[in-house]
Each structure stands twice: as structure tokens, then as C-alpha cells.
């Protein structure tokens, strides 16, 4: 049953855009950088800018070839323009996440109508996982944006009857795949290519390959991708094997990355990550799979979106390397499918599909005070008590928004209901995000920096003993000397072994002969060294880290 509600008006869209921008960007500078990912991806561009070498990425002074350089470049440029801050470190994730919402609106509007585009954008913006990744300094939002942009451009290009428009959309598709590959590697072209092959086999639409503009598209793709790959390979002959074989082939086929999880992991990630729209998404998928209209000739955007969602879901589910953000590239496709389905539903149907989210919000509200039960020696109860307050507020806001949205939907005020639920979900996410900073003394070294900084002197050694605290270098604006802990920099150490100390015993022999030096270690490691008779003066500590200085030099 089609809803009789009109499409959103221009002023309404402008109001929603401004409100979304304010809520989306308001807090990206609030939280401390979190270990390990945010520290890592803040530090690599800092070192790139500091060294002036924009070709060879380095982490803690060591070659780091796990990912391409696009996000490092954009973050380094943000540092150069606005300074090194938490918000500039997260700016690329926030910008690409916001751009993805706008692209979803544009695609839905052009494929179907403005109402479907608006609802799809709301679904994406309010999805819990999409919001979360858009506010964390990791690479997954950037690659999600460009991969999704390649899909959206393909959809619009193949659906167009204009040869000129199709050419433009396909050039955008090829360019987006190029930037996707520069964001996170081969998946930028392998996954879109595989999706196109599967779609072709399912639909028997061989003619689609004649409308891809393969030659100019490949030229554009290579012009974007090849320069950096050629330059980094010439400067570092070891790059090609590590990047393409170790980081792609071996990670996918073997447990070498230590990220093995059950095959069904991403089922729960998608169900939780799509909240509060999980019920809408499941209904849309069921409708498309079980109640499709008779097959028509020509390009089918809905089938392409389904193939994109299912194939990428299966691809990462069978991989030996699984992390929650990996599945994010299917979220814009799911949002488009869901938004289009919602645009053809009445309010009572929508309201019924929000009941699971309402129940979960109520459970979250009731369970929030018990968050302190997750406390441990490293994350004390006091930290969780501060976090629990924000969880309660987040759950309350979310529950009230869902219940009010259900009321509006039952009155068939669907656009207002969906808008309210989107805003409520964003505010819920912001409350959880801001509240998480209450745990930052356990997840970040930011609070230790004021105590450490007076002891720093140019050229003074700073050792990282049997650990590596990823968030310390970007806050101290300097690298550390690794001791007996290669961490993820093992490959870089193999290339430049003189930049680290292989054993704690060697560190123990070196420390007493240093005129002045600093070191960071775990509390357990500090106790061991103290028992071995090593003289150290503590200048900062918390439940995870102890920072010491050679004691004979007195106060800074």
C-alpha cells in the first residue's frame, strides 16, 4: 500500500541538512584518541607531515605498509591547515560519513523519488554502526564512502537513458573505485567487480558490459591509483610483496592476522548496527526476495543492491580476518533498499517494525546502571560509574524518540516520524560517544601527557618496554624506541632492525648508562624491573601504564 504523504519540501530538507550537520560534527573533537586504531591513524599522518615524506608511510618511525596512503594524506593536510587535534584526526571519517549520507539521498531521489531518497538517507544517518564509525579515526568510513559511491554511480549510470549522462556517471564510478583502492587496497576494485559479475550471471544482462566505458574508465582508474603505488614501490622494493601478498591474500585465506571469529559474526553486527531500522531492513529484504514483481528486461537497481549487500556480506563472513567495521560498505546499499521500501508503506506498518528497537531501548535503560559490573583492575568502577550516567541518558532519549515516532507514524505523519527517530538515534549515539570518554583513562594516554611533557627534552631517548601505547606518540609529537615488543611493526623492524631493542635484558643493561632517558611500560613490567634492581623514577602512571625517568637527573 502506497503512502499518500508528499515528498519532503525544500525548506524541510534544508532544515534537516543543517540539523544533521550540527549533530554529526559537534563532538568529533571531544573524546581522547582511543587505542589502538585512533592512535595509529593519527600518528602516521603526523610523521608524514613532520618528515616531509608523503610517499612512505611510517608508524613510530618504522615503515608501515598495511594500508594505502589516501587517509594519511588527507589527515596530514588537515593537520597542516588546522593543527594537530582530535577533531582534525577524525575529520576525514566524519566528512566521508556525512558525504555518504548526502550521496544516498541523491541516489535514492534520482533512482526512485525524493521521498525514497530522504528516507534512505535517514536510515543511513541513524544507523548505530554507521554513526559510530563516522566518529572514529579508522579507515573504514573512507573506503565505505568511495566503494558505495562507485555502486551509486553505477546504478545511476546504468539506469540512465542518456549516453552523455551514463558516461559521466561511469567515469565517477571508475574514479570512486580508484580512491577506494587508495583508501584500503584491492577490495576497492575487487568487490565492485565481483558484484558486477554476479549480477550479470543472475540477470543474464551481458549488454551491461558494453555500457561500462571500460577503456576510458580503466585509464582514469589507473591515473588515480598507479602514481603512488609506483613511487612507493620504487622507494621500497619490499612493498609489493607485503602489501599485496601478506596484507591481502594471506589475511583473507589464513588466520595470520589473529582476527578469526565465527562465520556468523556479521549477522549480529548487521542486526545491531542497523538499529533502530533493523525491523524495516528485514522487511525490505524479505519483500525483495519473496515478493518480487515478474522479471523485466533492462537494468534492475534493486537486484544490484541485493547482490552488493549479500555478496560483500558473504565475502567477509568467509574471510579468516574479521573486524566489526569491515561490513560497513553494505550499509548504504541496505539503507537504499530499506528507504525505498519504507516510501511505499503506511504508518502503521512502520510503527510495528519499530517495536524491536523500542524493546531494546527499554532494556538498555534498565541495564545501564549495571554497566559497573564490567569493571576490572584496568578499568575501575569509578570510570564505569561516569559512563553509566551517559548510557542511561542515551537510552532514555532513544526510547522517547522511538515511542513518539511510533505515535506520529500511526497518524501517517511518516516523514516527521522518521526524522524524529533519526535525530533521536543520532543524539543517543552522541550520548554514548561522549560518555565513552569517561573510560578514556583506561583507553587513552591523553591524561598522562601533561605530567610527561615537562620531562621531555630534544633528542632524549624514550623507550616503550614490552608494550606499545598507540595513543602516546601523537600526543607527545614524537616516536618511541620499541623494546621486546614489535607489535604490528614487525615488518618495519625487519627492514630497519637498528631502530629497536630486541630484549628487555638489553634494555636493563642500557638504562643505567643513559645520562637521561624516559620509558613507558605496564605496571606488571615495572614491578619486574624494580625487582631486578633497575632504578627508575615514576613521573606518571595509571592502571595500564607507568612512565619513568632515569632518577639521577632530578626534577625537570
pLDDT at 5 exceeding the cut of 70: no
Name the domain count of the chain.
Answer: 3
Higher pLDDT, 329 or 320: 329
SS3 assignment, position 462: strand
Arithmetic mean of pLDDT, 208-223? 95
Residues in the chain: 556
- Do 278 and 314 lie in one domain? The reply is yes
Which of 292, 314, 343 is the endpoint of a domain?
343
Domain around 279: 92-343
Among 397, 412, 444, where does a domain finish? 444
User: Which H or E run includes 46?
Assistant: helix 37-51
User: What confidence score (pLDDT) does residue 299 get?
Assistant: 86
Can you name the residues that pair with 540 across neighbouring β-strands? 547
The tens digit of pLDDT for each residue in 89-99 reads: 999 999 999 99
Same domain, yes or no: 504 and 519: yes
Q: Give the pLDDT of residue 254.
A: 64
Element (H, E) at 387: helix 381-410
Q: 133 is written with which cell numbers?
A: 564509525
User: Is 389 inside a domain boundary?
Assistant: yes
Query: Residue written as cell 539503507?
Result: 335
Verify that 458 and 356 share a domain, yes or no. Answer: no
| From 290-299, 375-384, 448-457, 484-493, the region with the lowest mean pLDDT | 290-299
Same domain flag for 381 and 246: no
pLDDT at 97: 98
536 in the same domain as 500: yes
Q: What is the mean pLDDT of residues 159-176?
A: 93
Q: How confident is the model at residue 240, as a pLDDT? A: 87
Q: What mean pLDDT comes out for the span 307-316?
A: 94
* The pLDDT value given to residue 419: 97
The answer as to whether 182 is a domain residue is yes
Given the C-alpha cell 551514463, which residue does it identify? 166
Bridge partners, 537 (sequence order): 549
Q: Give the confidence band of 435 by pLDDT, cuts at 50, 70, 90.
A: very high
pLDDT value for 256: 60
Q: Tell whether 264 is covered by a domain.
A: yes
Same domain, 419 and 479: no
Looking at the structure, tell me whether residues 328 and 208 fall in a common domain.
yes
- Domain match, 543 and 425 both: no
Structural domain contains residue 74: no
Q: What angle do CA 76, 81, 83 make, to 5 degrees?
A: 75
What pLDDT is attached to residue 247? Answer: 73
Q: Are 379 and 438 in contact (CB under 8 A)?
A: no
CA 553 to chain centre: 44
261: left (phi over 0), alpha (psi -120 to 50) or beta: beta
Are 540 and 435 found together in one domain?
A: no
> What integer pLDDT is reported at residue 258 of this predicted model?
58
Of the residues 401, 424, 444, the one at which a domain ends: 444
Evaluate whether residue 479 is within a structural domain: yes
Question: Are residues 411 and 306 both part of a single domain?
Answer: no
Own/partner pairs, 389-393, CB within 8 angstroms, 24+ separation: 389/435, 390/431, 390/432, 390/434, 390/435, 390/436, 390/438, 391/364, 391/431, 391/432, 391/435, 392/365, 392/368, 393/431, 393/435
Q: Is residue 69 part of a domain?
A: no
| Any domain includes 311 | yes
Query: For position 2, what pLDDT does the model report?
Result: 42
> Are 430 and 506 found together in one domain?
no
**One domain for residues 275 and 126:** yes
Is 50 part of a structural domain of the chain? no
Q: What is the mean pLDDT of the chain?
A: 92
Amino acid at each position: 500500500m502506497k503512502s499518500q504523504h508528499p515528498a519532503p519540501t525544500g525548506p524541510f530538507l534544508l532544515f534537516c541538512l543543517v540539523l544533521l550537520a550540527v549533530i554529526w560534527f559537534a563532538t568529533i573533537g571531544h573524546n581522547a584518541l582511543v587505542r589502538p586504531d585512533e592512535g595509529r591513524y593519527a600518528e602516521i599522518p603526523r610523521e608524514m607531515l613532520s618528515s616531509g615524506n608523503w610517499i612512505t608511510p611510517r608508524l613510530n618511525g618504522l615503515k608501515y605498509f598495511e594500508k594505502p596512503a589516501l587517509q594519511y594524506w588527507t589527515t596530514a593536510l588537515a593537520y597542516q591547515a588546522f593543527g594537530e587535534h582530535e577533531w582534525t584526526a577524525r575529520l576525514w571519517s566524519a566528512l566521508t560519513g556525512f558525504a555518504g549520507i548526502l550521496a544516498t539521498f541523491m541516489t535514492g531521489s534520482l533512482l526512485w523519488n525524493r521521498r525514497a531518497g530522504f528516507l534512505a538517507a535517514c536510515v543511513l544517518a541513524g544507523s548505530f554502526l554507521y554513526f559510530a564509525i563516522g566518529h572514529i579515526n579508522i579507515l573504514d568510513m573512507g573506503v565505505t564512502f568511495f566503494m558505495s559511491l562507485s555502486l551509486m554511480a553505477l546504478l545511476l549510470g546504468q539506469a540512465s537513458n542518456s549516453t552523455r549522462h551514463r558516461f559521466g556517471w561511469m567515469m565517477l564510478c571508475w574514479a570512486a573505485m580508484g580512491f577506494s583502492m587508495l583508501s584500503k587496497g584491492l577490495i576497492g576494485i575487487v568487490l565492485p567487480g565481483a558484484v558486477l559479475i554476479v549480477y550479470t550471471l543472475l540477470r543474464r544482462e551481458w549488454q551491461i558490459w558494453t555500457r561500462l566505458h571500460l577503456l576510458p574508465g580503466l585509464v582514469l582508474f589507473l591515473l588515480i591509483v598507479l602514481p603512488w603505488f609506483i613511487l612507493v614501490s620504487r622507494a621500497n622494493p619490499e612493498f609489493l610483496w607485503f602489501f599485496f601478498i601478506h596484507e591481502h591474500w594471506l589475511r583473507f585465506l589464513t588466520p595470520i592476522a589473529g582476527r578469526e571469529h565465527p562465520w556468523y559474526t556479521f549477522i549480529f553486527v548487521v542486526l545491531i548496527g542497523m538499529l533502530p531500522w533493523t525491523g524495516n531492513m528485514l522487511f525490505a529484504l524479505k519483500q525483495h526476495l519473496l515478493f518480487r514483481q515478474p522479471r523485466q528486461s533492462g537494468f534492475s537497481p534493486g537486484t544490484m543492491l541485493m547482490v552488493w549487500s549479500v555478496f560483500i556480506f558473504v565475502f567477509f563472513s568467509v574471510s579468516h580476518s574479521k573486524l566489526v567495521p569491515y561490513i560497513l560498505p553494505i550499509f548504504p546499499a541496505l539503507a537504499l533498499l530499506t528507504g525505498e521500501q519504507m516510501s511505499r508503506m503506511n504508518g502503521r506498518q512502520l510503527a510495528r517494525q519499530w517495536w524491536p528497537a523500542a524493546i531494546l531501548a527499554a532494556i538498555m535503560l534498565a541495564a545501564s546502571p549495571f554497566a559497573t559490573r564490567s569493571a576490572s583492575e584496568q578499568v575501575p568502577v569509578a570510570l564505569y560509574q561516569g559512563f553509566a550516567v551517559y548510557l542511561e541518558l542515551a537510552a532514555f532519549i532513544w526510547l522517547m524518540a522511538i515511542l513518539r515516532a511510533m505515535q506520529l507514524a500511526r497518524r501517517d505523519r511518516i516523514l516527521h516520524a522518521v526524522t524524529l527517530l533519526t535525530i533521536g538515534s543520532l543524539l543517543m549515539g552522541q550520548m554514548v560517544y561522549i560518555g565513552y570518554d569517561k573510560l578514556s583513562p583506561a583507553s587513552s594516554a591523553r591524561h598522562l601527557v601533561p605530567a610527561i611533557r615537562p620531562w621531555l627534552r630534544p633528542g632524549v631517548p624514550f623507550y616503550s618496554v614490552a608494550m606499545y601505547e598507540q595513543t602516546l606518540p601523537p600526543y607527545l609529537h614524537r616516536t618511541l624506541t620499541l623494546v621486546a615488543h614489535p607489535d604490528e611493526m614487525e615488518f618495519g623492524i625487519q627492514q630497519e632492525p637498528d631502530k629497536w631493542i630486541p630484549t628487555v635484558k638489553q634494555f636493563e643493561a642500557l638504562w643505567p648508562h643513559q645520562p637521561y632517558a624516559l620509558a613507558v611500560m605496564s605496571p606488571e613490567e615495572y614491578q619486574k624491573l624494580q625487582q631486578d634492581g633497575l632504578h627508575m623514577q615514576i613521573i606518571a602512571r595509571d592502571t595500564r601504564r607507568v612512565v619513568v625517568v632515569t632518577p639521577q637527573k632530578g626534577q625537570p
